[in-house]
Structure 1
C-alpha cells in the first residue's frame, strides 16, 4: 500500500525538476587567462616600474623646473630659477659632473656660500657652475662704483650776453671757478639777448678775449667758437 502511494509523489517531483531546468538557462562562467611568464605583478598600492630610460632632453625638461619666479633680464638664471631638470654641474673645485638632476645638484654644496649659476643655457644639459656669493657681491659693488657719476663727467653751463657789464661778468665767472674747483667742467656761452643792442664782430672778439684772460688759471679745453650770434668755449681744471 505505501509503495503505491509513494510512486505518484516521486513522479510529481521529477516532473517539477525537469520543467524548472527547461525554463532556467545557466550562464557559462567567464574564461580566465593566466598571465604569461614574462608578466610581473606589483604589490597592492605599488606601481610596476620597468627599466629606466635615458634622461630627457633639454626640450623635454624645460618645463620641469622648480616653478620659482624667473630671473631678471640683466643676469643669468641661478639656483631654483634654472628651468632644466638635468644639468652639467661644475663644482667648487672645477670638476665636471654630467647629467645631474638639478634637485640633486642643489643639495651638493653650501647654499649660504655659493650660487649655482647657468653659464651655458644652450647646451643639451645646461652648464651650471658654482660662484662664490661674496666675490659676486664685491664685483657688483665695484661695477656700481664705476658707474657712479664723477665730478669730471659733469659739465656746468654759464650763460651771459654780449653786453654784460664787468660786474655781472665777474660774478658769472666766479661761479664758474667754484664749479671748476669741485672738479666739474664749465661751458661758457655768450649769446645775444632780446632787447639788447647788437654788437660788432670786433666787440665779440674783445669779450671772448676778456673771458679767456679771466680764466687763464684753468685749462681751455675747447677754444671759443662762434656759431651765428653765439659763442661757446669750455674750461676744465688743469
Structure 2
C-alpha cells in the first residue's frame, strides 16, 4: 500500500473544462444545438442545462463573457479524445532513408543506388546520401563532393536539396526532401 493511500490522499486528474457548479463567472454566453446563443446569468444557464438533463460546460473561459455549451459532458470528452486521436494519426511521420557511397563508387553502383533513391522520394521519404571515407580515402574529398552533387542533380525532378554536401568527421552528407506533387486538375 502506498503512503498516499494510507493517509487518505487521492490523486485526481484535473478536468480540462469547468462544468456546472465549477463555473465561477456571473454571466455566460450559452451556445449549442438546444440553446438560444444569448447571454444569461449563471443560475439560469445551470437551470436550462438541468431541465434538459445535461451539463453546462465552459468551452471558452477567456471570452468576455465566457462561452458555455449545454451538452452531455462524458460524450463531449469522448469526442475531444477522438478528435485528438485523428489529429495524431494524420500528422505525418518523416522517414529518412540513408544511401551510402564510397569515394570510388563506379557508374553501375551509382545508377543502382540512384534508382533506390528515386523510389524512396516517390514514396515521400527523405533521402540522406553520404560518402563514407575509410582510412586514407579522406584525401579524395573532392571526388566525394562531386559524387553527391551529381546524385542531387540526377534527382532534382523528384526532390529538392535541403542540405548541400558537407563533411562531418569521415562522412560527407547531402539531404534531399521529396518535392510536393501538384494535383492535376
Q: Give the shorter-chain TM-score range.
A: 0.5 to 0.7
Q: State yes or no: 1:157 paired with 2:100.
A: no
Higher strand content, 1 or 2: 2
Match in the other structure for 1:185:
126
Paired residue for 1:233?
Answer: 175
* Structure 2 residue aligned with 1:130: 69
* Distance in structure 1 (CA, Å) of the matches to 2:49 and 2:71: 14
Q: How far apart are 1:177 and its partner, in Å?
A: 2.0
Look up the match of 1:45.
Answer: none
Does the alignment pair 1:100 with 2:39?
no
Counterpart-to-counterpart distance in 1, 2:177 and 2:42: 62
Structure 2, unpaired ranges of 5+: 1-11
State the structure with bigger RCO (CA 8 A, min sep 6), 1 or 2. Answer: 2
Match of 1:83 in 2: 22
- What are structure 1's unaligned runs of at least 5 residues? 1-68
Could you state the TM-score of these two structures normalised by the residue count of structure 2? Answer: 0.57
Q: Taking structure 1 as reference, are residues 70 and 225 closer, same or farther at Cα in structure 2, changes over 3 Å only?
A: closer
Q: How big is each residue's C-alpha offset from its partner over 1:123-163, in whole Å with a ceiling of 9 and x where there is no partner?
A: xxx9562256799977876665444223xx61413141433
Are the counterparts in 2 of residues 87 and 101 from structure 1 also a CA contact under 8 Å?
A: no
Is it true that 1:207 corresponds to 2:147 in the alignment? yes
Per-residue deviation, residues 63-101 of structure 1 (Å, max 9, x unmatched): xxxxxx7643xx32235xx53589645361023332517
Residues 1:221 and 2:158 are matched in the alignment: no
TM-score, scaled to structure 1: 0.47
Query: In terms of Rg, which structure is larger?
Result: 1
More helix per residue: 2
SS for the counterpart of 2:144 is helix
Number of residue pairs the alignment of both structures matches: 158
How far apart in 2 are the matches of 1:121 and 1:235? 42
CA distance in 2, matches of 1:132, 1:103: 12
Secondary structure of the corresponding residue to residue 203 of structure 1: helix
